Amino acid sequence: MIGVRDPLPGVVYPPLDHLRTYVESGELSETSLIEALMASFADNAGAPALCTTDGIISYAEFDERTDRFAAALLDMGLMPLDRVLFQANNSPDLIIALISCLKAGLIPTCTLAAHREREISYLGRHVDAKAFIVQGDDVKFDLEAFALKMQPQIPTVRHVISFRGRPRDGVTRMEDLIAKTDAAKAYAAVRAVPRDAYQVAVFQLSGGTTGVPKVIPRMQNDYLLNATLTIEAIGYRHDDVMFMPMPMMHNACMICFTMPVLLAGAAFVIPEDLTPESWAAAFKRTPPTYIGVIRPLLPRLEAAFDLEPAALGHVRAFWSADSARMLREKYGRPTYAMFGMSEGMNMYCRPDDSEEARDWTVGRPLSSFDEVRLVVPGTMDEVADGEIGEMICRGPYTVSGYFNAPERNREAFTPDGFYKPGDLLVRRVIDGKHYYAFAGRLKDVVDRGSEKINCEEVELAVSTHVAVAGCAVVGMPDPILGERVCVYVVLRSGHQAPSVSDFQGHMEALGLAKFKWPERVVTIDALPLTKVGKLDKAALRIDIAKRLEQPDVVTN
């Protein structure tokens, strides 16, 4: 049967006529993501899956550990389609926990380790999370204590589970659950879980272009298609080794790295932390053939290669969302740009694409069934090749709506199902093929190290400060992160200008994730307006760029 068997309330499933087209053409599979992953684990049982500081975990061992933890989760009373909050930094245990949830039929909700009270309390209640899985040894922030603090605010959460932590009241350790679960019984329990290729696999999060994150239901077979198309486009092999220090729970990492690598039977090399010394040690243990990195991490990569120069000789290619040309010119290796969104649509360049295409575009859509139109913003009128247009898209792995968000869906999707991400692109013809170049955004966001920060969310938080009469947030240029958060403030009468640290303390008290905090404050008499009386953020962006060129200009 084409289509989901037991629809989840609040999930917008793809139209049946579209599904029939995709399935009957052979583009979309009726196999679920987790079934395909489990087949890969069996086929590659003797191969390395995770290369860690403690040694190599084979696919056979990985398969058994994830069976055991999956069965233990079911024994705790969790049921297939229950939602589980995840909050952790990269580690082998994070991948084990993620795959275990998929095996148990649970739906991981992919929050960031940097999220705090505001985001986690909202998301946990919004998805009715039944469990909260966290990292137990984060040296910067006690995620176990935070999860216990959040539990009363999310009434549905019955279990707090951690990995890499010490025994603690109220927290169940993943390692203990794995150790006490019989492997044979776990194997049987996992294979008894019903599978549905058309059901939700994971809840991803929007990039922050609204006041709170939107929840994105990615389906089992659309995620599988997205990952297999990545394998075909890039050419991952079973003998490849992936090094990817960006957050694993990000959709970009799951689709470009985690799922394709596991499906291909390739391996991950995972460093202990983000220091160049740790990276170099990982390179020495298991030299990577692919490296995914963003601009803020380039100095660490360079330092790691300085410490372990032989590692570069093993690298087949780099991935980067923002530094593809820079990496190719520096290291002389093919480099693939990434363009896409958690909602689905992905574009990459291919290994046989020209240097011009790889340097100046973000590539081409992955599927021949992907539909991309560039239109005059706010209309459905298409622009010509070479002109900037607002991108709208739909296809076999692009979602049809956000979870339990009918008003946002009316804004974000056209009546005929095209998604409107708010990106501006240009279509170019190179060697007879259509490529796309990124040209900006319609939405009001700051892009800080590839994290999209909604300006309105920060403005609402800043405006609650007692000294603030009015404010506007813009991205200020930064050579490392791309942009940082700058807030322009109009003061209330009789109040002193708050400092950056004052505002950061205010943000912390409100429970806003740290990467959203203002990093520069500019006090002005009035916010600039356009001729039609709207806030002129373009003028503020020009102003902060000029201020950065004149260090003697006094701002806070």
Residue 554 has pLDDT above 70, yes or no: no
299-311 mean pLDDT: 95
Whether 299 contacts 327, CB under 8 Å = no
Structure token pair of residue 183: 């492997």
Q: What is the pLDDT of residues 412-447, one digit of tens each?
A: 999 999 999 989 999 999 999 999 998 877 778 888
Cα distances from 490 to residues 11, 454, 460, 485, 530, in angstroms, run: 42, 20, 14, 17, 17
337-348 mean pLDDT: 92
With a CB cutoff of 8 Å and minimum separation 6, the contacts of 99 are 34, 37, 62, 66, 262
Whether 129 contacts 109, CB under 8 Å = yes
Whether 133 contacts 87, CB under 8 Å = yes
pLDDT at 347 (0 to 100): 96
Any idea what DSSP says for residue 255?
A: I
Structure token pair of residue 26: 């052979």
pLDDT at 516 (0 to 100): 92
Residue 250 has pLDDT above 70, yes or no: yes
pLDDT at 381 (0 to 100): 94
Q: What is the pLDDT of residues 218-232, one digit of tens each?
A: 999 999 999 999 999
Secondary structure (DSSP) of 502-522? HHHHHHHHHT--GGGS-SEEE
Structural domains present in the chain? 16-270 (3.40.50.980), 343-441 (2.30.38.10), 447-549 (3.30.300.30)
Structure token pair of residue 303: 């330092």
Dihedral class, residue 265 (left if φ above 0, else alpha if ψ from -120 to 50, else beta): left
Structure token pair of residue 311: 């590692």
304-313 mean pLDDT: 97
Q: What is the mean pLDDT of the chain?
A: 93
Q: What percent of the chain has pLDDT over 70?
A: 97
pLDDT at 323 (0 to 100): 81
Helical spans, DSSP H, in 269-386: 276-285, 298-307, 324-331, 355-360
Whether 461 contacts 510, CB under 8 Å = yes
- Count Cβ neighbours within 10 Å for each residue of 68-93 and write b for 16 or more, e otherwise: bbbbbbbeeebeeebbbbbbbbbbbb
Q: Specify the 3-state DSSP secondary structure of 49.
A: strand
pLDDT at 441 (0 to 100): 79
pLDDT at 443 (0 to 100): 75
When pLDDT is cut at 50, 70 and 90, the band that residue 480 belongs to is: confident
Residue 58 has pLDDT above 50, yes or no: yes
How crowded is the C-beta side of 317, counted as CA atoms within 13 Å? 18
CA distance 340 to 516: 22
Residue 533 has pLDDT above 70, yes or no: no
| pTM of the full structure | 0.86
When pLDDT is cut at 50, 70 and 90, the band that residue 532 belongs to is: low
Three-class SS of 132-196: EEEECCCCCCCHHHHHHHHHHHCCCCCEEEEECCCCECCEEEHHHHHHHCCHHHHHHHHHCCCCC
Q: What is the pLDDT of residues 184-220, one digit of tens each?
A: 999 999 999 999 999 999 999 986 545 578 999 999 9
Q: CA nearest 436: which of 398, 471, 392? A: 392
14-38 mean pLDDT: 98
CA distance 469 to 395: 45
